[in-house]
């Protein structure tokens, strides 16, 4: 018997099959083979057609079942992970009214900023644990203001994962964790933030019914079965945004545990058990997958837009053949890159920098000393320093890291990058060979709430541990120099 997990990303749809008893991975399939297109009708906008997600999911599911000769009746549960903060809207017939406004779209920034100013910092911090910012609620307000004819036809508003669950089951629901990521949830009152909806002039009836993150959230319908290749009646047992799900994949459930991701952007996601939101304008606070009012588990999410995208830019512009070659070049340069400083913030406004857009910057370049090897080292260090800078922000809000785990992806495959972070935090970083789709599949086993046993699934995924250096002086000196350069740029912004 098997569980199937979906990871609905903005670049691809990944599907994983795991053994329902042992959690052992059977296989993974990805569609499409090239990255999905993100449409940008105007500068700063980012949209995708949700029917593309669904089409790729169906194709990938059928391919995976066929490749491993799995009968659909042997799939006993479905888990869904999805790109966070997106907005999907349908009419009463289930017809999409427009493209999805996805996570990296910035059109609603000014709407969120005005709401924060008028509703008050204390009110937003104590009830929402966040600024309304550019999240789903603000995006919906943008539709109301700018596309009134579309808004009038809305029947339900969904997050990307809600839409996939709807296509599978013909049932429209969401989760508390999902509503919190859209900034629709009032943590203090433990209910939908109707006062925010009133302020925005939004209809609360547009929100789906709320279900638990784990448990039967619907069953595959006849149409869902025909299109996806799954068996009719297969239960959906789990649904969560990609970053909470990434934490779950790494067995991160308890206060002090931290999950990190080093892809195109970088993410630090830390679990706390308090509603403290001191840094709520720079760090997002969402209900983690195991959140309960009586036993709160809040996921503090810090995003660094300029991370792996910078390293990729260097790869494409330095006449270097691979990341392996870049990493090898970087190892030939000492800690601190002989004074070369690279600020990696060239992928839009950085929330952790209070939405300032200072760009990527190369500072203190010495034409007589520095080479492309220095650029490679300075890039890895600059991104690692940005991670630690984010950790310092989170520490000011009470975070005390006890365990740090990361997937074996992109930046964390670099010893320089991982060792720099480990040495500055003075904590080991455990590396696991797992993915969001695998985590979503394994999460189906948690519908009975046995979180302590989940670590048994991930034990065999552990592949490496990066330890802090015994002598951290050079790391601290290099970081101090980098931080001074950053703060100078922020002051001059």
For the record, the structure tokens of 177 come out as 């964790």
Give the 3-state secondary structure of residue 20: coil
- Kindly state whether residues 401 and 259 are assigned to the same domain: yes
* pLDDT category of residue 351 using cuts at 50, 70 and 90: confident
In a domain, 170, yes or no: yes
Task: Quote the DSSP letter at residue 408.
Answer: S
Residue 442's DSSP bridge partners are none
CA pair distance 215, 446, nearest whole angstrom: 8
> Which tens digits make up the pLDDT trace of 368-396?
999 999 999 999 999 999 999 999 999 98
> Which tens digits make up the pLDDT trace of 289-311?
999 999 999 999 999 988 888 99
In a domain, 435, yes or no: no
- Kindly state whether residues 215 and 263 are assigned to the same domain: no
Report pLDDT for 304.
92
> Which tens digits make up the pLDDT trace of 154-176?
999 999 999 999 999 999 999 99
- Kindly state whether residues 255 and 209 are assigned to the same domain: no
* pLDDT category of residue 348 using cuts at 50, 70 and 90: confident
Among 222, 244, 266, give the residue marking a domain's end: 244
For the record, the structure tokens of 421 come out as 């972070």
Chain-centre distance for alpha carbon 121: 25
Q: Please name the residues in contact with 492: beta carbons below 8 A apart, sequence gap of 6 or more.
A: none
- Residue 70, pLDDT above cutoff 90: yes
Report pLDDT for 370.
98
- Kindly state whether residues 276 and 160 are assigned to the same domain: no
Q: What is the CATH number of the domain that holds 35?
A: 3.30.420.40
- Residue 398, pLDDT above cutoff 90: no
Range of the domain at 128: 2-244
Q: Please name the residues in contact with 157: beta carbons below 8 A apart, sequence gap of 6 or more.
A: 87, 88, 89, 136, 140, 206, 207, 208
- Kindly state whether residues 141 and 16 are assigned to the same domain: yes
Report pLDDT for 447.
76
- Kindly state whether residues 29 and 139 are assigned to the same domain: yes
CA pair distance 74, 20, nearest whole angstrom: 10
List the Cα angle 414/246/242 in 5-degree steps. Answer: 115
Among 209, 226, 244, give the residue marking a domain's end: 244
Over the Cα atoms of the chain, what is R_g? 22
Q: How many of the other CB atoms lie within 10 Å of CB of 248?
A: 28
Residue 185's DSSP bridge partners are 192
Task: Answer for the pair 444, 78: CB distance below 8 angstroms, yes or no.
Answer: yes
Task: Answer for the pair 303, 266: CB distance below 8 angstroms, yes or no.
Answer: yes
In a domain, 405, yes or no: yes
Residue closest to 338 by CA, chosen among 364, 310, 315, 318 = 364
Residue with tokens 């840094």: 279
- Kindly state whether residues 205 and 298 are assigned to the same domain: no
CA pair distance 49, 52, nearest whole angstrom: 6
In a domain, 129, yes or no: yes
Residue closest to 350 by CA, chosen among 266, 263, 261, 421 = 266
- Kindly state whether residues 257 and 234 are assigned to the same domain: no
In a domain, 240, yes or no: yes
Among 217, 244, 271, give the residue marking a domain's end: 244
In a domain, 434, yes or no: no
- Residue 448, pLDDT above cutoff 80: no
- Residue 449, pLDDT above cutoff 80: no
Task: Answer for the pair 323, 412: CB distance below 8 angstroms, yes or no.
Answer: no
Task: Answer for the pair 422, 467: CB distance below 8 angstroms, yes or no.
Answer: yes
In a domain, 450, yes or no: no
For the record, the structure tokens of 338 come out as 């002989």
Report pLDDT for 410.
82
> Which tens digits make up the pLDDT trace of 74-107?
999 999 999 999 999 999 999 999 999 999 898 9
* pLDDT category of residue 397 using cuts at 50, 70 and 90: confident
Q: How many of the other CB atoms lie within 10 Å of CB of 171?
A: 17
- Kindly state whether residues 16 and 112 are assigned to the same domain: yes
- Residue 135, pLDDT above cutoff 90: yes
User: Count of domains in the chain?
Assistant: 2
- Kindly state whether residues 119 and 165 are assigned to the same domain: yes
Residue with tokens 């939908």: 192
Question: Mean pLDDT in the chain?
Answer: 95
Report pLDDT for 355.
83
Report pLDDT for 95.
97
Q: Rounded to two decimals, what is the model's pTM?
A: 0.94
Report pLDDT for 264.
82
Report pLDDT for 456.
83
- Kindly state whether residues 479 and 367 are assigned to the same domain: yes
- Residue 452, pLDDT above cutoff 80: no
Residue closest to 233 by CA, chosen among 217, 246, 221, 248 = 221
Give the residue-averaged pLDDT of 32-60.
Answer: 94
**Torsion over CA: 370, 373, 377, 378 (sign):** positive
In a domain, 394, yes or no: yes
Report pLDDT for 442.
96
CA pair distance 229, 57, nearest whole angstrom: 10
* pLDDT category of residue 473 using cuts at 50, 70 and 90: very high
> Which tens digits make up the pLDDT trace of 244-287?
999 999 999 999 999 999 988 899 999 999 998 999 999 999 99
- Residue 460, pLDDT above cutoff 90: no
> Which tens digits make up the pLDDT trace of 104-116?
898 999 999 999 9
CA pair distance 211, 173, nearest whole angstrom: 7
- Kindly state whether residues 283 and 370 are assigned to the same domain: yes
3-state DSSP: the chain helix, strand, coil percent, rounded to 5? 40, 25, 35
């Amino acid at each position: 018997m098997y569980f199937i997990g979906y990871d609905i990303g903005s670049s691809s749809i990944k599907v994983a099959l795991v053994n329902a008893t042992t959690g052992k991975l059977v296989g993974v399939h990805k569609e499409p083979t090239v990255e999905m297109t993100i449409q940008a009708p105007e500068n700063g906008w980012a949209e995708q057609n949700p029917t593309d997600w669904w089409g790729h999911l169906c194709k990938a599911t059928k391919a995976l079942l066929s490749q491993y000769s799995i009968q659909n009746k042997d799939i006993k549960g479905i888990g869904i992970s999805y790109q966070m903060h997106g907005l999907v809207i349908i009419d009463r017939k289930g017809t999409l009214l427009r493209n999805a406004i996805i996570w990296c779209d910035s059109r609603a920034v000014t709407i969120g900023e005005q709401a924060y100013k008028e509703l008050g910092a204390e009110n937003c911090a104590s009830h929402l644990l966040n600024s309304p910012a550019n999240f789903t609620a603000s995006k919906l307000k943008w539709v109301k203001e700018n596309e009134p004819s579309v808004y009038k036809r809305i029947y339900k508003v969904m997050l990307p994962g809600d839409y996939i669950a709807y296509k599978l089951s013909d049932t429209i629901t969401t989760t508390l964790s999902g509503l919190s990521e859209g900034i629709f949830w009032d943590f203090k009152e433990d209910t939908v933030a109707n006062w925010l909806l009133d302020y925005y002039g939004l209809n609360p009836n547009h929100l789906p019914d709320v279900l638990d993150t784990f448990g039967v959230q619907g069953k595959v319908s006849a149409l869902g079965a025909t299109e996806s290749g799954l068996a009719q009646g297969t239960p959906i047992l789990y649904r969560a945004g990609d970053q909470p799900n990434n934490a779950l994949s790494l067995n991160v459930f308890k206060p002090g545990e931290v999950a990190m991701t080093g892809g195109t952007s970088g993410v630090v996601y830390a679990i706390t058990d308090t509603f403290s939101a001191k840094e709520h304008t720079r760090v997002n606070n969402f209900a983690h997958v195991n959140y309960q009012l009586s036993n709160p588990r809040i996921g503090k999410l810090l995003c660094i837009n300029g991370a792996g995208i910078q390293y990729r830019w260097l790869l494409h512009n330095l006449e270097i053949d691979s990341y392996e070659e870049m990493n090898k070049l970087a190892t030939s340069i000492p800690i601190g890159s002989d004074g070369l400083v690279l600020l990696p913030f060239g992928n839009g406004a950085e929330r952790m920098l209070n939405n300032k857009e200072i760009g990527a910057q190369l500072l203190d370049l010495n034409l007589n000393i520095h080479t492309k090897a220095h650029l490679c080292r300075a890039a890895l260090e600059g991104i690692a320093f940005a991670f630690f800078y984010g950790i310092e922000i989170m520490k000011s809000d009470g975070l005390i890291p006890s365990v740090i785990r990361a997937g074996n992806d992109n930046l964390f495959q670099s010893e320089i990058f991982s060792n720099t972070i480990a040495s500055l935090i003075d904590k080991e970083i455990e590396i696991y060979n797992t993915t969001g789709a695998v985590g979503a599949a394994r999460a189906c086993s948690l519908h009975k709430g046995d979180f302590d046993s989940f670590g048994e699934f991930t034990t065999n995924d552990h592949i490496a541990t990066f330890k802090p250096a015994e002598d951290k002086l050079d790391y601290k000196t290099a970081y101090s120099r980098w931080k001074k350069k950053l703060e100078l740029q922020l002051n001059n912004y």
